[in-house]
Amino acid sequence: MTPEQQPIKSSTGNRKKRKTALSDLKWVAVKWVDVVEDVAAWQHGEPDVEPVEVLTVGILYSKKKDHIVVIRDLYAEQDSGDPVTGGRIAIPKGMIVSLKELKKPE
């Protein structure tokens, strides 16, 4: 079994078995709307805050009923060669503006 076919291992050591090999995962660019909070203390007048559009690029790890998970970092563990992921982000589907598949890097 190649490292790309092995189960994903989180940075905390938990293993999750995948039905799909890492080599079959899709690289994506996700545009989504994020929440913005006014960090100032109590204020008078109208709030001057707007949601922002964010671009996240990475590997589409999973699609759930109400969100997707994108991983931004992936490396092979030195001793075992097991793939390790980091920089995971869950994006609610209702916040996604667009999802575009990208060409997989070499």
Beta-strand relationship, 67-76 and 52-63: antiparallel
pLDDT of residue 15: 53
SS3 state of residue 55:
strand
pLDDT of residue 21: 63
Q: Which residues contact 64 (CB under 8 A, 6 or more apart)?
A: none
pLDDT of residue 99: 98
Largest CA distance in the chain: 62
Q: What is the DSSP letter of 22?
A: G
pTM for this predicted structure: 0.72
Answer whether 84's CB lies under 8 Å from 74's CB: yes
Per-residue pLDDT of the chain (106 residues; tens, 9 = 90+): 344 444 454 445 555 554 456 677 899 999 999 999 887 778 888 888 899 999 999 999 999 999 999 999 888 788 887 778 899 999 999 999 999 999 988 7
pLDDT of residue 17: 52
Domain boundary assignment for the chain: 3-102
